[in-house]
């Protein structure tokens, strides 16, 4: 496996993170206010849906860049052969380490952003200063462990599935996937893990209590598979 390009991973991951966060920021604000204990309208309603956006704009680039740089380098360090049935495990480990590193940037940004979203009258810098003065650096990392524990299980599903879909598509067309094809694979992987996050699989489908780890294990190929290193995508889909 070739050594990953540091600059490419840094810039591509950062730009992607900023683009997604800024485009979807109003929806995130509305969701946060709907979940606020003080109620939707008291938290700001539809007013100032871009409250807290400076925190997101500042944090998104280094957050996403840190994840993808770490993800690519861990994959390179482990350098599992593409034909190995352990390749999905490599992607799981790389995604997990990436989440741990990225959350060092993501959590402080999220803390400031969420407080700004439910208090639109206060500026982002004012909220940031108050947290440091009243709670110290620990206040910025409130909920770090729970955030990591929340994100890792879904990365265990999303990134191995994304990589496997790209590998399958490349194999079918006999050349590496284009950027739009990678985006389609990523969109499907993200949708799949979102269903797992929001809608647990039901007993009527014979998949009760399967969970993310169970899905991965069921999709992993057996030693006798003629497509070692790829998911049994027919089962997954």
Pairwise CA distance, residues 138 & 63, whole Å: 19
**What is the pTM for the complete model shown?**
0.68
Q: Who contacts 87 (Cβ-Cβ below 8 Å, separation ≥6)?
A: 80, 81, 163, 229, 230
Residues with Cβ < 8 Å from 215, sequence gap 6 or more?
A: 157, 196, 236
Q: For every one of its 237 residues, what pLDDT tens digit does the chain have, with 9 covering 90 and above?
A: 556 667 777 787 788 878 887 888 888 888 888 887 778 887 777 887 887 777 777 778 888 889 999 998 898 888 766 666 788 889 999 999 999 999 998 898 888 888 877 776 677 788 888 888 988 888 889 889 988 998 898 888 889 999 889 989 998 988 888 888 888 888 888 888 766 655 444 333 333 344 444 544 454 444 444 444 444 443 443
């Amino acid at each position: 496996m070739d050594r990953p390009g540091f600059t490419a991973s840094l810039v591509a991951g950062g730009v992607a993170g900023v683009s997604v966060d800024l485009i979807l920021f109003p929806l995130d604000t509305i969701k946060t206010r709907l979940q606020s204990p003080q109620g939707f309208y008291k938290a700001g309603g539809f007013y100032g849906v871009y409250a807290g956006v400076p925190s997101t704009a500042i944090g998104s680039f280094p957050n996403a860049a840190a994840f993808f740089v770490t993800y690519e380098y861990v994959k390179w360090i482990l350098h599992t052969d593409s034909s190995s049935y352990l390749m999905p495990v490599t992607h799981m480990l790389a995604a997990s380490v990436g989440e741990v590193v990225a959350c060092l940037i993501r959590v402080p940004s999220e803390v400031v952003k969420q407080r700004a979203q439910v208090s639109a009258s206060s500026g982002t810098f004012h909220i940031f200063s108050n947290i440091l003065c009243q709670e110290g650096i620990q206040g910025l990392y409130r909920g770090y462990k729970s955030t990591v524990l929340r994100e890792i299980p879904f990365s265990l599903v999303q990134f191995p599935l994304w990589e496997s879909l790209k590998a399958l598509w490349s194999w079918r067309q006999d050349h590496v996937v284009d950027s739009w094809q990678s985006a389609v694979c990523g969109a499907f992987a993200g949708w799949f893990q979102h269903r797992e996050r929001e809608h647990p699989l039901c007993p009527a489908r014979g998949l009760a209590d399967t969970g993310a780890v169970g899905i991965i294990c069921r999709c992993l190929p057996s030693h006798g598979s003629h497509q070692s290193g790829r998911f049994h995508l027919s089962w997954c889909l």
